[in-house]
Amino acid sequence: MNDKIKVILCYDDEKEDKELLLNQMELTALLSCEIIGSEHMYYDIKNKIFEDYDGGYLLYIKLQKSKII
């Protein structure tokens, strides 16, 4: 059994989507945040999509540029 989940960060700008493989603790920390920092830019979580597939589970996190930071 794989204890990691694939997470894809989908950005609303020209930035390429980022694929992560996270353990339970990392995933919990990520999902407890309202704003995610990536490469000196900050993004609000717009929505999350959880999906099962042949290889396990996948979580898409749609991000939009934050106006707060």
> Per-residue pLDDT tens for 36-60?
998 888 999 999 999 998 878 899 9
Taking CA atoms, 65 is separated from 11, 23, 28, 41, in Å, by 8, 26, 22, 8
How many domains is the chain partitioned into structurally? Answer: 1
Of residues 8 and 68, the one with the higher pLDDT is 8
Torsions phi, psi for 24 (to 5 deg): -60, -45
What global pTM score does this model have? 0.84
The whole domain housing 51 covers 5-65
Q: What percent of the chain has pLDDT over 70?
A: 96
**What dihedral do alpha carbons 9, 51, 67, 39 form, nearest 10°?**
-10
